[in-house]
Amino acid sequence: MATVEGRRAIPPVRVRHVLAGAVTAALWAGAAAVAALWWADTASVVGAAGWLTGAGRIAGLLCGYACAVLVGLMARVPALETRIGSDRVARWHAMAGRYTVCLLVAHVVLILAGYAAQDRMSLVHETVTVVLDYPDMLKATVGTVILLAVGITSARAARRRTSHEFWYHVHLLTYAAVFLAFFHQLVLGEEFSGKPAATAAWYALYLGVSALVLWFRVLTPIRLNRRHRLHVEAVHREAPGVYSVVVRGRHLEELGARPGQFFRWRFLGAGLGRTSTPYSLSAPPRPDRLRITVKALGDHSAAVALLKPGTRVWAEGPYGSFTAERATRRRSLLIAAGVGVTPLRALFETLPGEVTLLYRVRGAEDRILGGELEAIARRRGAQVWYAPNGAGGQRPDLTAESLRTAFPGLRGHDVYLCGPHSFAQDMYAALRAAGVPDRRIHHESFEL
């Protein structure tokens, strides 16, 4: 397999599916091993109190394991982010978060109910006793409240009503919550009391994921940014509310970035330094510069227009597998909507073979990077098709039948798809109805 500056190339679709399956199987095997801790430590379960407490212990163990998985998936490990795909890892992280919150609620409710039944006390009295009198429970309670807050703000309905900046900072509290809740399991968990092997395994799990976070989210970015010295070279207006940012740096070919990938950017100016935000490359990377194109959709993206040349940039990446390595056919159809055209613009220039771009826009003024797309099409003999709204504002007909008519042999194309979540869902359904196999529909979505 070819390499770029020592990095392995992104594996083909089938290999990525195998890798994803192996990782998933390993995670479920870990959950089974954790559940086995309770089984090995429990001789019998007697009475309602015993069943409630036992179920609470299982839920607590699995919640502790899910917390470790949650943090591990936040570590941005390149083997996962690039070789399996950042969008899939993001969905795993979201699923792990939902499992964690559900298990946490079950653990708290079942344990307290079991203890209350065992002590013949009211649930309120038992709750106060456990929180105030049991060792490390005050810290665990704070951690529980934080995890619940993270879970609530991560729900799709809440995400749509909050800014990315607010969500980002609340999400970072996950680390504090896991740290606060960690020790009470070792102190109070019967599965670890007097069992050095189980305790050592639990420490190894948490120290292992902590090491991943330290290496890939702290030390690796420090090394990258010290080496490449990134800064803003220029900011260009592309369309109403849309700006391109040219970032200059040293030895950028060493990053091994590919068209279609993204970085997480932190601009140390215009009040943007507190948040790290993912933006895709909107042009093929060069040895001395990178370019992103941003639409003003929130406080962070709107402030990008205010960046001044010379502003220092802190970047992490590259991430993602939305690249030419996914292609399996000689012909490719790229389907974009809105600012989703940015990674496809880079691919439109570099994908080998016959390439056609279908660009869904509301009107001519919304053709982000339209001039560049048309110049690329002329230069390489490709095609750009626009799908604007009608004169009365009606949406264009992008159904399975219309796609088959417009693009003969569509079933034999690779299709790269990028746009708003609802648009991507509709187009995916239309492509599948048109007979395009799932393995040849390539998309990256971070809608959780």
**Which secondary-structure segment (H or E) carries 306?**
none
Q: What is the pTM of this model?
A: 0.81
Q: Which of 159-168, 180-189, 270-279 is predicted with the least confidence, judged by mean pLDDT? A: 159-168
Distance CA 413, CA 409 (A): 7
**Residue 120: DSSP 8-state:** T
Asked whether the predicted pLDDT for residue 39 surpasses 80, the reply is yes
- Identify the residue with better confidence: 231 or 325: 231
Distance CA 132, CA 60 (A): 19
Residue in 296, 332, 344, 357 with CA at minimum distance from that of residue 410: 332
Asked whether the predicted pLDDT for residue 44 surpasses 60, the reply is yes
Distance CA 20, CA 89 (A): 9
- Reduced to 3 states, what is the DSSP secondary structure of residue 207? helix
For 300-303, the CB contacts below 8 A with 24+ separation are 300/163, 300/164, 300/165, 300/272, 300/275, 301/277, 302/241, 303/270, 303/271, 303/272
- pLDDT tens string 54-67: 899 899 999 999 99
Q: So what's the pLDDT on residue 4?
A: 33
Residue in 108, 105, 96, 111 with CA at minimum distance from that of residue 49: 111
- pLDDT tens string 384-401: 999 988 777 788 889 999
Domains of the chain: 10-223 (no CATH), 229-319 (2.40.30.10), 324-443 (3.40.50.80)
Q: So what's the pLDDT on residue 410?
A: 94
Q: So what's the pLDDT on residue 447?
A: 54
Q: So what's the pLDDT on residue 12?
A: 55
Q: So what's the pLDDT on residue 448?
A: 44
Expressed in percent and rounded to 5, the helix, strand and coil fractions of the chain are 55, 15, 25
Q: What is the sign, positive or negative, of the torsion defined by CA atoms of 95, 101, 107, 113? A: negative
- 185: number of Cβ within 10 Å: 20
- pLDDT tens string 407-447: 999 999 999 999 988 899 999 999 999 999 988 999 876 55
